[in-house]
């Protein structure tokens, strides 16, 4: 057993005591003020208790033994609403069938890091979730021991039943919960050994599944409140433009339309949070009684747009960096392509240097040089951006899909001048996140609209709004150079990576540490197109590029691509080059060996074209082998084998689902998806022009294997996404004889020039 301090459990308890001392038992006031939000799926069949007893901010126990566990982090489809409460339930020692799960609202007094991002929910919540369960268990045992007048050490507990071995006394948690709530919170509790886990490591169904398959309201877009109006916005058609005038008065006369006005979401003097990203602060807004009436008014609204005044500066930046004569400042993909190719071939900021790469390249018998690109991408959560806001009487009620509730609350605090305690943020289940809902501009917009109207509103983006709103995955470019000596041995590697407007470089990741002479350079290009984190930011490009280049190198050197990587990883493990290498070479090699063995790589029996890839990000290791063929220029993906090291797997079947999904998502984006620009206008606005992978294009089969090592859990939502792009490119090469350097790969298969290539 591991002893841990109960810091988090105590903090919430202390708050409760101090406020109770003032005469009010509102330590868990967020529960008291909780509206009828979405509970777990199981409680319908469960007998509800007459009374609940709160043992700490994570859970309450009913007088009949039913337990409610609050899932602190936003649920975007990564299944934390099931897996986080599983961790609490494990240490609480309760029967999972007696557990109800509820989404906790934002409460920074009780919970730390209520954020869905960076694949960190389970990793960073691991200890506090366990501690919350163990603390409550300890309090229940103490209360039982007091009642029976026996030492706690003589008690045991299983599935929420406490037993005293000597007297054969037993009781359920429900019977002692009231007394346990009065027990002082222990300063230290013991956590279970991994080998005694009964819930962690066993597959449990999604707690919302029944509601999902029966179409019950769960999502922000489903919110319906008394007196609620529907709001939509109109944003400029191009990045670099802004609203000049509109025919608001005429539109106000349309049926069902309540008001038409403009808002400035983020005035220039407002101090913004990192999550306040938008290219379009000034918006036209239409408010009405029903969605269709507002949509019709939106179409009828005539707006004159103008170039943004600050565009002049933007143009200068672009002109200076590219010496272009005819840049309008309304950017185009052709301009981006020429700028990236030009700058990507020049010296840039040196981020890491090991050995003497210049000398190694000078003495090289052969230099292999390749460059790779990828386009902007829209997140395309299937649930378009939306939020419910009711701002009135100095208070704000905000309800909807947001990955960063804490930052959103701060933004509303600054924008509307409301006190933080008067802003109530509650999270709905989200129809996808993928990073888009880290940036809560739509939440702030809803709050500003509600504040202006003095009425509750639900702001909804159309798909076209959603896809044209920016916050895109950046466009990237990377050039690799490898030096080979006369014996065909790799002597130096040079990576020069950049993008619009950020670089995808991770200078300290593999293959850094495995090569004597290594040079990593980085550059960026400014843009007025807004960008944001997109599932596995930066890794979602550089992994595929790097793994494609290593594949080509292995071939040039006459080596097996897996053995080539394993040899490099052996070097990094036993005799690492340089400092700050940001990966564990043995775990990296572990997933490659596992995927090699599980896929039958070595026996060479597959008649299909195979590609391999492996990558480390978000503290986890993933290796994938993809088997495919190409017929009539159409890719047919037969099978993907995945090996994953993310430490302890909390909910194995759900984890497999996540790996399967990440794999399909990665294949889809690398093959099919892109946002391109002409004169600042995104050329794809909906799914008729923007391609997401569809059923018939998905792999027929995906095998997922987890490394079992008992290490505390690490990320899983993102890690399966980046490497598959490399495995796909490498398999495409085997199938076609052509290397694929530019995403989306379908363009090359179709013989179409990729916009980002000059």
Partner 1 sequence: MAEFSLTINGKKQSLDLDPDTPLLWVLRDHLKLVGTKYGCGIAQCGACTVHFNGSAVRSCQLPVSSAAGNEITTIEGLSENGDHPVQKAWLEHDVPQCGYCQAGQIMSASALLNRNPNPSDSEIENAMNGNICRCGTYTRIKAAIKTASDSQLA
d(CA 400, CA 173): 34
Cα–Cα dist 303/308, whole Å: 15
Cβ atoms within 10 Å of 517's Cβ, excluding its own: 20
The binder of partner 1 chosen from 6, 71, 78, 114 (CB under 8 A) = 78
| Window 678 to 697, contacts with partner 1 (CB under 8 A) | 686-688, 692-696
Q: Which is closer to partner 1, CB of 425 or CB of 664?
A: 664
Of 159, 328, 657, 736, the residue at the interface with partner 1 (CB under 8 A) is: 657
CB 631 within 8 A of CB 736: no
Cα–Cα nearest to 114, from 144, 71, 83: 71
Query: Which spans in 600-720 are helix H?
Result: 652-672
Q: Which is nearest to 758 in space by CA: 464, 406, 334, 380?
A: 334
* Per-residue H/E/C for 440-502: CHHHHHHHHHHHHHCCCEEEECCHHHHHHCCCEECEEEEEEEEEECCCCCEEEEEEEEEEECC
* Total number of residues that touch partner 1 (CB under 8 A): 66
36-75 footprint of partner 1 as x/- string (CB under 8 A): ----------------------------------------
Cα-to-chain-centroid distance, residue 15: 32
Q: Is 715 one of the binding residues for partner 1 (CB under 8 A)?
A: no
Find the binder of partner 1 among 700, 708, 710, 750 (CB under 8 A).
Answer: 700
Residues 206-265 that bind partner 1 (CB under 8 A): 206, 208-210, 212-219, 221-222, 224, 230, 255
User: Residue 604 contacts by C-beta under 8 Å, 6 or more apart in sequence?
Assistant: none
The piece of 57-65, 291-299, 472-480, 610-618 that touches partner 1 (CB under 8 A) is 291-299
Alpha-carbon distance values, 430 to 403, 426, 505, 655 (Å): 9, 12, 30, 18
Site string for partner 1, 332-351 (x = CB under 8 A): --------------------
What is the 8-class DSSP label of residue 236? -
Per CB under 8 A, contacts with partner 1 among 529-558 are none
Choose, by CB under 8 A, the member of 108, 193, 247, 292 that binds partner 1: 292
Distances (CA, A) of 116 to 638, 679, 715: 32, 34, 11
> Is 300 a residue that touches partner 1 (CB under 8 A)?
no
Best CA proximity match to 156, nearest among 146, 171, 135: 171
Rounded to the nearest whole angstrom, what is the least distance from the CB of residue 636 to partner 1 in the complex? 11
* Residue of 702, 718, 696, 418 lying closest to 540 (CA atoms): 718
Q: For partner 1, which is the closer residue by CB, 47 or 686?
A: 686
Q: Which residue from 56, 73, 79, 121 is in contact with partner 1, where contact means CB under 8 A? A: 79
- Identified binder of partner 1 from the candidate list 653, 679, 683, 757, rule CB under 8 A: 653
Among 143, 492, 702, 735, binds partner 1 (CB under 8 A): 702
Measured CA distances, 179 to 31, 147, 149, 157, 340 (Å): 20, 9, 14, 17, 67
For partner 1, the closer of residues 633 and 686 by Cβ is 686
Least CB distance from residue 447 to partner 1, whole Å? Answer: 22
SS3 content of the chain, % helix, strand, coil (to 5): 35, 25, 40
Residue from 293, 328, 392, 413 binding partner 1 (CB under 8 A): 293
723 binds partner 1, rule: CB under 8 A? no
- Distance of closest approach, residue 651 Cβ to partner 1, in angstroms: 10
**Smallest distance from partner 1 to CB 291, Å:** 5
Rounded to whole angstroms, what are the CA distances from 608 to 178, 520, 726, 733?
Answer: 64, 36, 17, 12
Instruction: Determine which residue in the list 57, 133, 668, 726 makes contact with partner 1, applying CB under 8 A.
Output: 668
Binding of partner 1 by 431 (CB under 8 A)? yes
Q: Which span sits near partner 1 by CB under 8 A: 193-201, 303-311, 613-621, 650-658?
A: 650-658
Residues that bind partner 1 (CB under 8 A): 76-79, 203, 205-206, 208-210, 212-219, 221-222, 224, 230, 255, 290-293, 295, 380-384, 429-434, 460, 462-463, 653-654, 657-658, 660-665, 668, 686-688, 692-696, 698-702
């Amino acid at each position: 057993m591991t002893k841990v301090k109960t810091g988090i459990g105590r903090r919430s308890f202390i708050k409760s005591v101090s406020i109770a001392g003032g005469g009010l038992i509102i330590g868990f006031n967020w529960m008291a003020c909780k509206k009828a939000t979405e509970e777990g799926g199981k409680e319908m069949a469960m007998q509800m208790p007459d009374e609940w007893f709160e043992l700490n901010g994570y859970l309450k126990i009913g007088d009949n033994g039913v337990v409610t566990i609050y899932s602190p982090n936003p649920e975007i489809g990564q299944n934390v609403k099931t897996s986080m409460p599983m961790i609490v339930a494990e240490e609480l020692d309760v029967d999972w069938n007696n557990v109800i799960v509820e989404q906790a609202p934002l409460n920074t007094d009780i919970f730390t890091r209520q954020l869905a991002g960076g694949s960190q929910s389970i990793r960073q919540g691991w200890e506090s979730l366990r501690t919350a369960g163990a603390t409550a268990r300890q309090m229940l045992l103490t209360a039982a021991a007091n009642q029976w007048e026996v030492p706690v050490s003589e008690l045991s507990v299983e599935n929420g039943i406490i037993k005293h071995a000597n007297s054969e006394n037993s009781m359920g948690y429900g019977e002692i919960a009231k007394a346990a709530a009065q027990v002082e919170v222990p300063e230290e509790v013991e956590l279970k050994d991994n080998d005694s886990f009964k819930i962690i490591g066993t597959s449990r169904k999604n707690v919302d599944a029944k509601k999902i398959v029966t179409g019950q309201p769960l999502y922000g877009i489903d919110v319906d409140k008394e007196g609620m109006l529907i709001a939509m916005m109109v944003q400029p058609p191009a990045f670099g433009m802004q609203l000049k005038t509109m025919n608001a008065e005429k539109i106000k006369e349309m049926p069902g339309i309540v008001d038409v006005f403009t808002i400035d979401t983020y005035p220039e003097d407002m101090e913004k949070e990192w999550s306040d990203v938008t290219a379009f602060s000034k918006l036209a807004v239409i408010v009405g009684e029903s969605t269709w009436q507002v949509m019709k008014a939106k179409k009828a609204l005539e707006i004159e747009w103008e170039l943004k005044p600050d565009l002049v500066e933007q143009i200068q930046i672009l002109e200076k960096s590219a010496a272009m004569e005819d840049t309008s400042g309304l950017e185009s993909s052709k301009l981006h392509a020429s700028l990236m190719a030009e700058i990507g071939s020049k010296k840039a900021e040196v981020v890491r240097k090991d050995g003497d790469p210049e000398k190694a390249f000078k003495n090289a018998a052969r230099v292999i040089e390749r460059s790779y690109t990828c386009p902007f991408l829209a997140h395309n959560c299937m649930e378009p951006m939306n939020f419910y806001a009711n701002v009135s009487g100095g208070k704000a009620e905000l309800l909807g899909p947001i990955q960063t509730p804490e930052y959103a609350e701060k933004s509303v605090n600054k924008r509307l001048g409301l006190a933080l305690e008067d802003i109530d943020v509650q999270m709905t289940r989200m129809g996808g996140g993928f990073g888009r809902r880290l940036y809560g501009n739509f939440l702030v917009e809803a709050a500003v609209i509600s504040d202006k109207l003095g009425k509750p509103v639900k702001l909804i983006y159309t798909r076209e709004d959603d896809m044209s709103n920016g916050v895109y995955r950046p466009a990237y470019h990377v050039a690799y150079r490898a030096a080979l000596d006369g014996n065909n041995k790799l002597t130096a590697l040079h990576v020069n990576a950049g993008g619009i407007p950020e670089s995808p470089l991770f200078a300290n990741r593999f293959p850094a540490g495995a090569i004597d002479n290594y040079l990593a350079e980085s550059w960026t290009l400014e843009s007025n197109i807004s960008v944001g984190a997109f599932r596995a930011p930066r890794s979602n490009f550089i992994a595929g590029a790097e793994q494609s280049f290593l594949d080509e190198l292995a071939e040039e050197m006459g080596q097996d691509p897996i053995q080539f990587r394993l040899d490099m990883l052996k070097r990094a493990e036993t005799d690492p080059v340089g400092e700050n290498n940001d990966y564990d070479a043995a775990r990296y090699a572990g997933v490659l060996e596992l995927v090699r063995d599980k896929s039958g790589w070595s026996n060479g029996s597959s008649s299909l074209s195979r590609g391999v890839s492996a990558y480390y990000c978000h503290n986890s290791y993933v290796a994938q082998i993809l088997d495919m063929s190409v017929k009539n220029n159409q890719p047919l993906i037969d099978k993907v084998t995945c090996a994953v090291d993310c430490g302890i797997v909390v909910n194995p079947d759900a984890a497999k689902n996540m790996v399967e999904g990440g794999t399909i998502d990665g294949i889809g984006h690398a093959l099919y998806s892109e946002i391109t620009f002409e004169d600042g206008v995104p050329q794809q606005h909906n799914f008729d022009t923007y391609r997401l992978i569809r059923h018939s294009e998905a792999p027929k089969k995906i095998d997922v294997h987890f490394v079992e090592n008992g290490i505390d859990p690490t990320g899983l939502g993102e890690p399966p996404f980046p490497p598959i792009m490399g495995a796909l490119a490498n398999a495409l090469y085997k199938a076609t004889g052509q290397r694929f350097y530019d995403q989306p790969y379908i363009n090359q298969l179709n013989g179409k020039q990729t916009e980002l290539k000059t």
